[in-house]
Structure 1
Amino acid sequence: MTRDGRRTGHRRGRAAVALGCLLALASAACTGGSGDTVEPDGTDAPTGPVVVASGLDVTGSGSVRQQLIEEWNRRHAGSRDRQAELVELPGAADQQRSQLLGALQSGSARYDVVNLDITWIPEFAEAGLISPLPAEESGTAGDTDFIRQVHATTVWKGRTYALPFNTDVGLLYYRPDLLTAADIEADKQPTADWTWDQLYSSVKTLGLNPVRRDERAGWTTQLKQYEGLTVNTVEAFADAGVQLTDSEGRYSSDPGQLKKGLDSLLDRVGRGRVQPAALTSDETASLTDFAEGRAVFLRHWPYAYGALEGLMDPADYAVNRLPGKAVLGGQNLAVTADSPRAENARALIAFLTSRESERCLLDAGFAATRASVYGSTPKPCWPRVAAALRPTGDPARAEDTGEGTPKGQGTEARAAYVRLLGAALTQAVQRPRTPYYGAFTQELQSHVHALLAAERPDTAEAAAQLDRALRDVFAGR
């Protein structure tokens, strides 16, 4: 982005703040009610904690993000201005995005750091709501430890706007107990180079043809009309070689390409293979169906590995790479454009994305963003954070490389999981990168869900309708 472009973005941000104040008819709407207003001329030095806005922790780890904030605060106990505070936003990802957009555009909340879904970076950058990082702090100047594909999600139009906090990638969970019971030997069960055809072959061998929700199916995933459906669709499109946009967010597909992608999706989730409940399933519902034996295979995120420890016997589930393409997920930490504590905010982000902090995130169930965390000699998690993540009465073991490491499947299985997770991240694909992502995902979900629910789906007609809708969306209409 050019210098003039940055000025334009900041003018838009200031105009939005001013409008929010006029509509509210109260100056408090622009201070977030914090009581530490900063005068426009800068005569009052910014005080108070650095406020981080983030979605809820889905790992069930005891909030590793909060533990990292507390570790930062301990290390800066003598500085009130360097203390940090975590504000967790309720609701699903779409609701969190709306809350953050509204808060930053109106100035109604005093956030210094925002933990953004990777798909939101272009939108927040274009709107002038987050600040580009200085080159020496952007992760590109001397710091090549971030996984390349993951770091690419922080960049928009050649500028780095965030650092990767935690990442995500689709994985294939499966039930070796059910496969073995069907005489599918271990050497024919999922491997790192498994294909969808091999999964289909296993489903055929299992002889499963579910009609009702309580019947066992070959596999399940998240096809409810929400972001999970977008992820599954983009993965099927990527396997079919369909790219929806170029690197600048311009629409680059057509009805013929879209039909290929939709046919790939329908083949993947065809009746007789997928759990009927998948059409209304999110992450929680699909995980439950898998754990309770209603599906043999499951497409899910890394945090499911830890979640399953409390739901199943460790011998009854395993995990490997997802066949074909897997979509990248995760969140990035950015400094808000109007933060008066930007310097301290950037220092906090550097700490939260450090090698030690990333190890803590991995131990807690997130996927780490740094390659070294998946190596043979990673830096350990901060000791006090690791201790806080361990269940009460669970002593640290000498063989653990990280004190908070989950132990449900044992050290060897855990090490194999970490290796495959790191490898999967290096091969992951991105969803379209566009400032209009919110409109894109809603349109895609609407068209695809209707197609999946149809008795006789017509992919040619659905592709033509989707093409018209996406042309408008990516043009900002």
Structure 2
Amino acid sequence: MRHGPGRVGLRASAGLLALLLAAGCDAGASDGPGDGRQTAAGAAEIAGEIVLASGRDVTGKGGIRQQLIAEWNRQQEAKGSTSRARLVELPGSADQQRSQLLGALQSGSAEYDVVNLDVTWVPEFAAAGLVQQLPDRLVDSDVITSVAGTARWKDELYSVPFNSDVGLLFYRRDYLASAGVTKTDLGKDTGWPVLRQLIGALDTAGKKLPGPYAKGWTSQLDASYEGLTVNGIEAFASAADGFALTDEDGRYAGSVADLQAGLDELRNRTQAAYTLPDAVHSDEADTLTDFANGRTGFLRHWPYAYRTLHQSLSDQQLGVAPLPGKAVLGGQNLAVARGSQRSAAARQLVEFLTGKESERCLLDAGFAATRLSAYEDNGLTCNAAKPAGQATAGPAGERTDRMPRDSSGRPAYARGTLLPALENAVQRPRTPLYGAFSQTFTAQLARLQGDAPPSDAELAGDLDAELRRALPSR
């Protein structure tokens, strides 16, 4: 989706992917597992600015990523080192950013040393030989286990989790109270049947609700980007525990029966009876606006919405809980470009940006941190950045954002809601051909939104056949 997973439709052509994979065969004869001390050409390390290419920082201009880069530079200067780093934010959608990175790394036209990759891109960039293998020590036992699984391909480490993401359920406490619901603090036991009952209570309350309420629930169901893929994977994974569409080698591993069960779950979740009609044309920004404006009582979204929504809604109005069923894991990982001539310094930068204190800074700013210590170590604080919400900070630098925090300064929901959600999250299919998968998967699911949608059995058969054509099979 456009944040975390982003607009990751990945519409690369088969020809381009074949070219990249071929290039990877030449570039892959490299430094040995977990090393990467030399450039692809074996040249010696050279001094110079370390360039990190990334998508947009949702914490805003001069946000937490830029602040961490500035802190790295300050520390290098204090040590007498000439190493400096610079953040380059790539324009456009996530699809466009991915295409820019692929083209730049394959051609060497841009001197990127570190690239910030959506977690679904890691297998593709690794298989194409565009990023280096990294030392295993960079992903230690402090990294959340589910998140650590996004960093590897073929049992080798090619990236380090930077900030994570997971689907969450945001809801209007005040709407539930107005509808006569006594329990307005939802928890992990809120399944889809309970959610549908609560939506029914809101619909029954009707005009008793404050604001322009229209329908109970919304999510990112736009078929023109990754939103429908993410919602589909969450439904499929919830319908069959342990279900996966690809195996560890990226080969198609689904079955018609499993697909049919997943489609039935997705259809139940998106019925017109309780889904905002605009959801089928909505992305993250659209759904966030609809929810904030009071048009719906429940919202599936990413962690950054917690801080954003609290700028207009109070803690008495806004609640957050784990998404019923399985939630998809998103986020971005840092990788060192194969052609970097500053590989050692680039790895040091990656280690700093993904270290314990940096992860605590990311959490405080509204991202989902990747390390357990950020959530559990009360002695760990962020000293490397300005307070979250620095754009509106007071003269003494105190926080003026309205995001509720616990006694240790973390977002109030971090330990009890966000961390468990990350630990229980599922990955989207891991394959170098993720673009082909997502395009095929979304195109078939979009048929459910037509005027004459096929039966689950018919669509499951068609989806199975198309995925077997798009991906290698076992």
What is the Cα deviation at residue 382 of structure 1? 2.1
CA distance in 1, matches of 2:171, 2:353: 33
CA distance in 2, matches of 1:455, 1:273: 20
Structure 2 residues not aligned, in runs of 5+: 1-20, 30-38, 207-211
Aligned: 1:271 with 2:298: no
Is the 1:12–1:127 Cα contact (8 Å) retained in structure 2?
Answer: no
CA distance in 2, matches of 1:236, 1:462: 15
Partner of 1:31: none
C-alpha RMSD over aligned residues: 2.7
For 2:246, what is the secondary structure of its paired residue? Answer: coil
Structure 1 residues not aligned, in runs of 5+: 1-6, 16-37, 398-403
Counterpart of 1:158 (choices 134, 155, 159) is: 155
Partner of 2:373: 372
CA distance in 2, matches of 1:387, 1:244: 39
Partner of 2:64: 64
Partner of 1:234: 233
CA distance in 2, matches of 1:208, 1:456: 28
Partner of 1:149: 146
**TM-superposition CA deviations, 1:72-131 (whole Å, max 9, x none):** 001112667510011111122222111111111111111000100111111111000001
Give the TM-score, by structure 1 length.
0.85
Change (3 A) 1:394 1:278: farther
Counterpart of 1:223 (choices 221, 224, 227) is: 221
Is the 1:61–1:389 Cα contact (8 Å) retained in structure 2?
Answer: no
The amino acid across from 1:409 in the alignment is P
Is the 1:356–1:379 Cα contact (8 Å) retained in structure 2?
Answer: yes
What is the Cα deviation at residue 9 of structure 1? 6.3
For 2:340, what is the secondary structure of its paired residue? Answer: coil
Is the 1:239–1:324 Cα contact (8 Å) retained in structure 2?
Answer: yes
The amino acid across from 2:196 in the alignment is Y
The amino acid across from 2:71 in the alignment is E
**TM-superposition CA deviations, 1:154-173 (whole Å, max 9, x none):** 01111111111000011100
For 1:114, what is the secondary structure of its paired residue? Answer: strand
What is the Cα deviation at residue 218 of structure 1? 0.9
CA distance in 1, matches of 2:249, 2:61: 37
Aligned: 1:182 with 2:179: yes
The amino acid across from 2:188 in the alignment is A
CA distance in 1, matches of 2:329, 2:419: 12
Is the 1:360–1:381 Cα contact (8 Å) retained in structure 2?
Answer: yes
Change (3 A) 1:41 1:195: closer
Partner of 1:428: 425
CA distance in 2, matches of 1:427, 1:394: 41
For 2:109, what is the secondary structure of its paired residue? Answer: coil
Is the 2:119–2:332 Cα contact (8 Å) retained in structure 1?
Answer: yes
Give the TM-score, by structure 2 length.
0.85
Change (3 A) 1:13 1:396: same
Is the 1:255–1:463 Cα contact (8 Å) retained in structure 2?
Answer: yes
What is the Cα deviation at residue 313 of structure 1? 3.4
What is the Cα deviation at residue 318 of structure 1? 1.1
CA distance in 1, matches of 2:28, 2:351: 27
Change (3 A) 1:14 1:190: closer
Partner of 1:52: 52
What is the Cα deviation at residue 221 of structure 1? 0.5
Partner of 2:99: 98
What is the Cα deviation at residue 450 of structure 1? 2.4
Partner of 1:24: none
Change (3 A) 1:374 1:90: same
Partner of 1:445: 442
Change (3 A) 1:192 1:376: farther
CA distance in 2, matches of 1:256, 1:329: 27
Partner of 2:33: none
Partner of 1:132: 133
Is the 2:73–2:85 Cα contact (8 Å) retained in structure 1?
Answer: yes
Change (3 A) 1:95 1:107: same
Partner of 1:409: 404
Within-5 A mapping of 1:179-328: 179-186=176-183, 189-207=185-203, 216-225=214-223, 226-241=225-240, 242-328=243-329
**TM-superposition CA deviations, 1:15-57 (whole Å, max 9, x none):** 9xxxxxxxxxxxxxxxxxxxxxx996847x6232011010101
Is the 1:209–1:273 Cα contact (8 Å) retained in structure 2?
Answer: no
What is the Cα deviation at residue 407 of structure 1? 4.1
Change (3 A) 1:108 1:13: farther
Within-5 A mapping of 1:378-397: 378-386=379-387, 389=390, 391-393=392-394, 395=396
What is the Cα deviation at residue 150 of structure 1? 0.4
For 2:150, what is the secondary structure of its paired residue? Answer: helix
Name which of structure 1's ranges 373-382 and 152-161 shifts more when overlaid on structure 2.
Answer: 373-382
For this pair of structures, how many residues does the alignment match?
Answer: 433
Aligned: 1:458 with 2:455: yes
CA distance in 2, matches of 1:275, 1:298: 10
For 1:326, what is the secondary structure of its paired residue? Answer: coil
Identity percentage of aligned residues: 48
CA distance in 2, matches of 1:461, 1:149: 34
What is the Cα deviation at residue 207 of structure 1? 2.5
For 2:187, what is the secondary structure of its paired residue? Answer: coil
CA distance in 2, matches of 1:453, 1:39: 49
For 2:161, what is the secondary structure of its paired residue? Answer: strand
For 2:392, what is the secondary structure of its paired residue? Answer: coil
